Chain A
């Protein structure tokens, strides 16, 4: 940090609001150094006995029960669970708090794609100090790869999103559509459905960064390569192109409903069958149950369509983790809670409330796998989803500025959905703008 340039000192001195220079310094790349958690003997047990208060920022609704149970087990501990907003809203708040050096939570929920950004700026405690590196194998490969990207353990996974095909069986049966096993079949199914009922679509899409990267991931594309501050972005590899070609057909032939996910139109479509399938993360099981109750009995789950006949590769879509910010003043206690929620008794509570776990033990547990879901017509949905979790393709990496990159996805790739641009051109523009940002931020970006 160029903190001592004469210019800056002079400016700081002349400013009447000199105190403001302090937060600015804190702005410049997260906390100056991680809290000295390395020397901590990680004796969470004594912290638990001693008790205290921790603040947890999370939007995952199942953590409420987990926090209550944790408090019941450790009467001296108080857990303040705060929902600061979902996704980006929360990251903004976290970023601001870290910059201000005040009001930083002890535990924060962070999605996998956003983790590298916080990890890079040393804003998170490396959980290796608490022996978290020993947990290799406890989690499925996708989530574990995400929390350990670039070395160290930045967080522990809470839920995962191995992808599968959720489809409306009633609609499929009505129009005699077979469940597609490859993406080519998927396109044909989309065509058949839309021809049979012009108001119905096989799926919706208006351009979604998470969906696009997940499909490229499944197709074997690895557009992002990150080694410290050396970054490569390349959307011309075979996997990216395969995705772009196939999905371009879906867009050109108007086989995707132009409805944004999570909008009320989307829920309407899922409810009345006019959006007949989603290739999406396993957590969608819970969302369908709770938010599309009218379609109970209509939906079923099948393995993700493959890029090659007989293939078995899947990808992750979404999923999040709990991390301990470096600025936490109660890291030991924070770790104790985090451990309880992600590898301890908290898992069972969360699974009971509908979360999709990231731990192999749960995913392999017969009781979990064989549970029959009334909503899905008695199907043993978890079997399909858990199998997907074990088939996630390896070697995927996110950018250390993925939050920004995703924010400009619709400026670039999204244009292919509303104008004459193609997905390939859109991906090239996305690559270009992401690279510009990366270079501006001091990374060495190769394209």
Chain B
């Protein structure tokens, strides 16, 4: 278990002498994906890069400003505050979400649960709920007057803090995101666990290894790929946090400001402020930061393995 190379055919010797013949064949398969990808992802990014070096004013029109927009972002407290907020979200919410997902996946995979498939499908179910509907639903439940929180306060004679107050709103959003994606990540881990050959840990069990030992020594290393990719996608998801805060904003407008997350900031710049140029700049900087962090995580994930 030492190779870190991607799953290619490179390890198969036959490829080498056939390589020239099939050199471009791969592109015939990956080409359609890349063509559409270029249209819907790359072209807008190139366009945004172009936009980011201009400035358009309502009065005065468009001028080339070089890297001014980038300089502005570097010293923009609203941008950095938003970035700090999603970083905190990332550090706290992602481990909790992936931790729960992993534990549930291991529990289901262990075969020790009653009603295994019921658990699997039920916990995955929230993923079927559109983010719009999920946020509306939770937003209603968070209500301290008429919502579920209010109902609980009344029924139990307690006074729960307002989940939508400025101090708690980030945690409340974290809860919604966790709810939506625990099942999704669980399924990814579970699918990875399913293809681990049982002979491996049955042998370990015969050797007297305990459950936790089997998990630590065999199962987790075996699904490292799934863990790393789930982490990377969760990082991207955290940095792009948008749907949930944007929908809850109407319920907690003072707690969720227009620059609550960098993505929300880019959105309000572009849509309320028509600052397309600066908005594109913020998006590009966020993209770069996300890439760097995803890259570091991926490197670390791989190094441990080696």
Contacts and interface: CB of A to CB of B under 8 A. Distances in A.
The answer on direct contact between A and B (beta carbons under 8 Å) is: yes
A29 B58 contact: yes
Interface string B251-274: 111110111000000001001111
Contacts of B63: 2, 5
B275 to A, nearest CB: 8
A401 B58 contact: yes
B146 interface: yes
A320 to B, nearest CB: 18
A356 to B, nearest CB: 24
A286 interface: no
Interface in B142-168: 143, 145-147, 162, 165-166
B276 A27 contact: yes
Given A404-B273, A414-B254, A2 B147 contact: no
Contacts of B271: 88, 92
Contact of A411 (B47, B54, B258, B276): B258
Given A262-B250, A410-B257, A25 B62 contact: yes
B145 A269 contact: yes
B57 interface: yes
Contacts of B56: 27-29
A407 B166 contact: no
A403 B272 contact: yes
Contacts of A134: none
A3 B251 CA distance: 43
Range for the number of chain B residues in contact with chain A: 35 or more
B253 A407 contact: no
A206 B253 contact: yes
Contact of A407 (B46, B254, B272): B272
A238 interface: no
B272 A88 contact: yes
Given A17-B43, A17-B47, A265-B143, A120 B58 contact: yes
B78 to A, nearest CB: 9
A305 B166 CA distance: 32
Nearest to B269: A404
Contact of B253 (A8, A401, A414): A414
B254 A442 contact: no
A28 B255 CA distance: 33
B21 to A, nearest CB: 32
A45 interface: no
A418 B145 contact: no
B61 interface: yes
B50 interface: yes
Contacts of B111: none
Contact of B258 (A92, A262, A408): A408
B50 A29 contact: no
A95 B252 CA distance: 27
Given A7-B64, A264-B140, A418-B254, A24 B54 contact: yes
A212 to B, nearest CB: 13
Contact of B166 (A229, A403, A418): A418
A259 B251 CA distance: 8
Interface in B14-51: 43, 46-47, 50-51
Name the residue among B54, B143, B165 with the largest chain A CB count within 10 angstroms.
Answer: B54
Interface residues of A, number: 53
A121 interface: yes
Contacts of B275: 440
B60 interface: yes
B206 interface: no
A121 B56 CA distance: 12
B61 A415 contact: no
A263 B250 contact: yes
A274 B47 CA distance: 52
B113 interface: no
Contacts of A411: 257-259
Contacts of B62: 1-3, 8, 24-25, 27-29
Contacts of A17: 43, 46-47, 50
Interface string A49-61: 0000000000000
Given A17-B47, A414-B254, A407 B58 contact: no
A211 interface: no
A113 interface: no
Nearest to B63: A2
A20 B145 contact: no
A117 B57 CA distance: 13
Contact of A442 (B51, B59, B143): B59
Contacts of B147: 265
Nearest to A418: B254
Interface string A27-43: 11100000000000000
Nearest to B154: A199
Interface of A: 1-3, 5, 7-8, 11, 15, 17, 20, 24-25, 27-29, 88, 92, 95, 117, 120-121, 206-207, 229, 257-260, 262-265, 268-269, 274, 400-401, 403-404, 407-408, 410-411, 414-415, 417-419, 437, 440-443
Task: Name the 4 nearest CB pairs between A and B, nearest first.
Answer: A442-B59, A1-B61, A442-B57, A414-B254
12 contacts: A1-B61, A5-B63, A7-B64, A15-B50, A24-B50, A24-B54, A29-B62, A264-B143, A401-B58, A411-B258, A417-B254, A418-B254
Interface of B: 43, 46-47, 50-51, 53-54, 56-64, 140, 143, 145-147, 162, 165-166, 250-255, 257-259, 268, 271-276
